Structure 1
Amino acid sequence: MSSESLAAALTRAGSPVELLRNLASPPSTFPVKPEFTNWRSEQRAWVETCALLDQSHHMTDLFIEGPDALRLLSDIGVNTFANFGVGKAKQFVAVNPEGYLMGDAILFHLDEELFDLVGHPMVLDWVTFTLERGDYRATVERDDNSAVRPSGPPKLYRYELQGPTAAALIEEMTNAPLPNVKFFNMAEFTIAGRRVRGLRHGMAGQPGFELFGPWEDGDAVLQALLSAGANHGLVRVGAKAYSTANLESGWVPAPMAALFSDDPLMQEYREWLPVEKVGSIGGSHDPAEIRDYFLTPFDIGYGKTVKFDHDFIGRAALERLAESPPRTKVTLVWNADDVTAAVRSLYQPGPGAKYIEMPKARYATHHEDKVLVDGRQVGISLDCGYLANERAMVSLATVENEYAEPGTEVTVVWGEQPVSAKPAVEEHRQVEIRATVAPVPFVDFARSDYRAR
């Protein structure tokens, strides 16, 4: 890995927009088998029976330990930490000094002075930087995902069980009633003679648990799940289907970190951060100023997470932003005829539309497309893909509040102009795709209203 810092790369490129739009950084990958059967059937499993998703390899763990570990996290996270005891978890969200998103991850409180922050590297790097420059009695141990780990297996296995039969499967395996565990709280099970921790979780609108424990126990637990799962319609889910689950539940993966400002703390961070840790930006959203790519917690649905009951980096700025957030997170349901026309253009004299990958169409680390109404940009489409259960192409987006009403007609601009130097971007032409605003999460609306139409 190069030792060039983000600050040095920025000096070389001259512009943060120019740097990030042309970085070779790919979309986040899931280093597990793409499909065990086919991604359409695997998507169906978390709706009809039970899906087993192997989360052991694609996320990074940052273990934070010590008497000041909680103080460190509280100094960074916008969340409240009141009553955050052992056995609980939360969606940890961090912002920069100007109140713009640095990232999010799942924070597990494992022991009195031990936490595990699990997610994409952006916010984990920010926590590590803050620890190193501060006065905290805490240490960190990082376990990178399997795509970049130098050698050896992960420290922990993680298996996600989701779907209508997940509870019955766990009860059969443990020979006990399912414990009454609140959402984002943990329970302990014994599976295949091993101690297993389980986070009460929900994904794609379905109940379930995230089971985890030491890597050396993982195969025994997996085999037990597969054996018992035969009676409950268990389906193993590969990387392709798994990458789309967030579109149903409404979670925006890997929002762009707001790394570029004149604040002295951010200047110091850019000197500390290797450029390889910075993701590329792609899509039709193409402002000249990098600040226009930044998002706030309110833009992507974390407003309820923000609590001003403690001091944290960016609090004053976020209090001002909280007074009247201008945008709302929505689902956009893309017009089937327009999507079909874009695909059809690939079979006609070119250049055609930008290739639409199935089932996930993101082609940069951070995807941002223009959302228009009557030719004026009113929002940003952030993540897009195909949902076989709803037979629809959808994206998660943030739009001006007046256009967030379900049923509002908008247009998504698909493709880049000019074409960037990212390896995943071929010669193409931009196309406009009509879309209809729908709620977040989409899954409940789709099952009650969208299918009926």
Structure 2
Amino acid sequence: MRRFPAAAAVRSVRGDGSLTDERTPTMTRETSGSLADALARAGDPVQLLRNLQSRATTFPVQPEFTNWRSEQHAWTTTCALLDQSHHMTDLFVSGPDAQRLLSDLAVNSFAGFGVGKAKQFIAVSPEGLLIGDAILFHLEEELFDLVGHPFVLDWVQFHLERGDYDAKAQRDDNSAVRASGPPQLYRYELQGPTALAVVEAASGAPVPEVRFFGTTQLTVAGHRVTALRHGMAGQPGFELFGPWADGADVLAALLEAGEAHGLVRAGARAYSTANLESGWVPAPFPAVFSDHPLMAEYRAWLPAAKVGSVGGSFTADDVTAYSLDPYEVGYGRSVKFDHEFIGREALERRAAETTRTKVTLVWDAADVADAIGSLFRPGPGAKHVELPKARYATHHVDAVLHDGAPVGVSLDCGYLANERAFVSLAVVDVAHAEPGTRVDVLWGESPNSTKPQVEPHEQRTVRATVAPAPFVQFARESYRAR
């Protein structure tokens, strides 16, 4: 790696807002060996995933710098700085066949994807169902960085190892599981109306015009910084990254420049909700459980400890019922049939057959308040509603009903202080996707699973109203006006 050298072996990171203890997932008998081994022991994949003893997903970054309400407010009114250095995994793929490998696995086109560009990389199974997504950076000729949740990175690494590719991969796991040392790269996200002003003040020069998901080079605190034009939570912004050794200097310069522009550091609690405003589903269930021979080979390769838990009221005997396709979660615009890739034939069929679409569900305030209020009444009460993010498993899947009949699934859920609303991202039948449609969300599990974050509780029905995804612009113009 020419531009980003390996990190020095430092046990803990202090002074940058990250947690100082290195935490690793608990290895239990249920997650020892490969996923194929775990499934053979469990017999039922649904019960294995619903009862995994792994803890709920946490970001290895300071939870709050002020409070999560003010930190959410900052990306709407001024500028929020979010530290992305620690919770994502990087897979650096290099070599003459690096792009061919990625193209063979992605639904995205690579036409015109030159150095300095980035895109959302989306991979599907042979059945055309989502394996996962991540952000792909084209850093240099024959050098790419795939950044995000390990699901899709594992898929790429598997195919690199089994395929005939003149390429290699260097992996930098996130700070929750890394064996030692800090990340190779720092990543600082600046979001909000004054983000551009902060970047220009820190760099001492106007930021060049750059298209969305394009990059440019800046100088901050005497260091070369790559800036990705990006946006989260429906606001303009930039993602700045570079070698870890430069990170403290760059952060200090951004904080100093931000003093005049209302900069607020945002911790893990606020950051975890940004996707609810922008409409991105962070952890769709990975479609790795089918009977296809390729998937059986993958399960024999994949460590069972990398499998995430499933929570929520949606239940099905067939584990594949939890899977989604790219069209259902709003990725249809990224699918291009200008190249061959795994799952292409199936995805072409799904393009014409998909009957569900992504929406936002605005949960009834009185019903949510009643569920929270059950903490103060006798009896088991409702499943605890954590604020601001209520997801309590890696993959959260609640049942959505209309007149008692199933019409979809509710996914990531939480509270948006800017809108004073509790919302979830959902996939519902097109017939029930019109904004204003009333539906019900089943909150809580029946029967209760044995996940450590699940207490004895009673399932509740929460009324909800369909709204567009992304939700933010609709909320500004219509929701709060009502």
In the alignment, which residue of structure 2 is the partner of 1:432?
461
| Superimposed CA distance per residue, residues 5-46 of structure 1 (whole angstroms, 9 cap, x where no aligned partner) | 100110100011011111123333211100000000000000
Is the Cα–Cα contact under 8 Å of residues 234 and 277 in structure 2 kept in the other structure? yes
Gaps of 5+ in 2: 1-26
In the alignment, which residue of structure 1 is the partner of 2:39?
10
Specify the code of the residue in structure 2 equivalent to 1:347. F
1:294 aligns with 2:328: no
> Hey, what's the Cα distance between the residues in 2 that align with 1:224 and 1:289?
52
> Hey, what's the Cα distance between the residues in 1 that align with 2:122 and 2:107?
6
Is the Cα–Cα contact under 8 Å of residues 62 and 142 in structure 1 kept in the other structure? yes
> Hey, what's the Cα distance between the residues in 2 that align with 1:381 and 1:366?
11
Question: TM-score with structure 1 length normalisation?
Answer: 0.99
CA deviation after TM superposition for structure 1 residue 325, in Å: 1.2
In the alignment, which residue of structure 2 is the partner of 1:404?
433
> Hey, what's the Cα distance between the residues in 2 that align with 1:276 and 1:317?
29
> Hey, what's the Cα distance between the residues in 1 that align with 2:362 and 2:92?
39
Is the Cα–Cα contact under 8 Å of residues 32 and 38 in structure 2 kept in the other structure? no
| Superimposed CA distance per residue, residues 279-314 of structure 1 (whole angstroms, 9 cap, x where no aligned partner) | 010000001111111110011100111111100011
In the alignment, which residue of structure 2 is the partner of 1:213?
242
In the alignment, which residue of structure 2 is the partner of 1:109?
138
Is the Cα–Cα contact under 8 Å of residues 332 and 437 in structure 1 kept in the other structure? yes
Specify the code of the residue in structure 2 equivalent to 1:342. A
> Hey, what's the Cα distance between the residues in 2 that align with 1:371 and 1:18?
21
1:364 aligns with 2:397: no
> Hey, what's the Cα distance between the residues in 1 that align with 2:208 and 2:47?
52
1:177 aligns with 2:206: yes
1:230 aligns with 2:263: no
In the alignment, which residue of structure 1 is the partner of 2:15?
none
Specify the code of the residue in structure 1 equivalent to 2:408. G
Alignment of 1:151-300 (within 5 A): 151-300=180-329
> Hey, what's the Cα distance between the residues in 2 that align with 1:310 and 1:277?
30
| Superimposed CA distance per residue, residues 407-428 of structure 1 (whole angstroms, 9 cap, x where no aligned partner) | 0000000000011111100100
> Hey, what's the Cα distance between the residues in 2 that align with 1:28 and 1:305?
28
Secondary structure at 2:454 match in 1: coil
1:41 aligns with 2:82: no
1:443 aligns with 2:468: no
In the alignment, which residue of structure 2 is the partner of 1:96?
125
In the alignment, which residue of structure 2 is the partner of 1:51?
80
> Hey, what's the Cα distance between the residues in 1 that align with 2:446 and 2:113?
47
| Superimposed CA distance per residue, residues 165-221 of structure 1 (whole angstroms, 9 cap, x where no aligned partner) | 011111122222221100000000000000000000001111110000000000000
In the alignment, which residue of structure 2 is the partner of 1:132?
161
> Hey, what's the Cα distance between the residues in 2 that align with 1:141 and 1:34?
29
| Superimposed CA distance per residue, residues 44-72 of structure 1 (whole angstroms, 9 cap, x where no aligned partner) | 00000000000000000000000000000
Question: TM-score with structure 2 length normalisation?
Answer: 0.93
Secondary structure at 2:120 match in 1: strand
After TM superposition, the runs of 4+ consecutive aligned structure 1 residues lying more than 6 A away are none
CA deviation after TM superposition for structure 1 residue 121, in Å: 0.4
> Hey, what's the Cα distance between the residues in 1 that align with 2:281 and 2:229?
20
> Hey, what's the Cα distance between the residues in 2 that align with 1:327 and 1:26?
31
1:327 aligns with 2:332: no
> Hey, what's the Cα distance between the residues in 2 that align with 1:256 and 1:114?
29
In the alignment, which residue of structure 2 is the partner of 1:81?
110
Specify the code of the residue in structure 1 equivalent to 2:236. P
> Hey, what's the Cα distance between the residues in 1 that align with 2:263 and 2:179?
33
In the alignment, which residue of structure 1 is the partner of 2:12?
none
Secondary structure at 1:26 match in 2: coil
> Hey, what's the Cα distance between the residues in 1 that align with 2:119 and 2:190?
18
Specify the code of the residue in structure 1 equivalent to 2:97. D
Secondary structure at 1:323 match in 2: helix
Is the Cα–Cα contact under 8 Å of residues 90 and 108 in structure 1 kept in the other structure? yes
| Superimposed CA distance per residue, residues 299-346 of structure 1 (whole angstroms, 9 cap, x where no aligned partner) | 110011111110001111111111131101000000000001111111
Gaps of 5+ in 1: none
